[in-house]
Amino acid sequence: MITLDDIEDITDLTRAEIDAIGEHEALPPLNAAALADRLMHIHHGPQKVQQMICEDICAALHRDDLPHARELYVVLHRFLNDHPGAAEGVPR
């Protein structure tokens, strides 16, 4: 039987990155992992993930949730470190 951990492990993203996608799209973890995997394999998908994390940071700042914004900034930093092409040509 395939578990959520198995699905998350094949996405090429960290659990925190998948959680940020789930937060952005209001998805449960399994659906967020599936979306994350799809995004990482389509044209401009990594840029969309970067955009989602940035939007999550903005939303946290607008809620005055500075601790969460800081956590998401760390997620963004690691994502861009692991996927440097994601910062190029960010879709609007």
Query: How far is 87 from 50, CA to CA, in rounded Å?
Result: 7
Burial class (CB in 10 A: 0-12, 13-18, 19+), 91: exposed
- Segment 22-81, tens digit of pLDDT: 999 999 998 999 999 999 999 999 999 999 999 999 999 999 999 999 999 999 999 999
Q: Which of 76, 7, 83, 74 is nearest to 45 (CA)?
A: 83
CA distances from 81 to 66, 74, 75 (A): 22, 11, 10
Domain boundaries, the chain: 42-86
Query: How far is 92 from 75, CA to CA, in rounded Å?
Result: 21
* pLDDT value for 64: 98
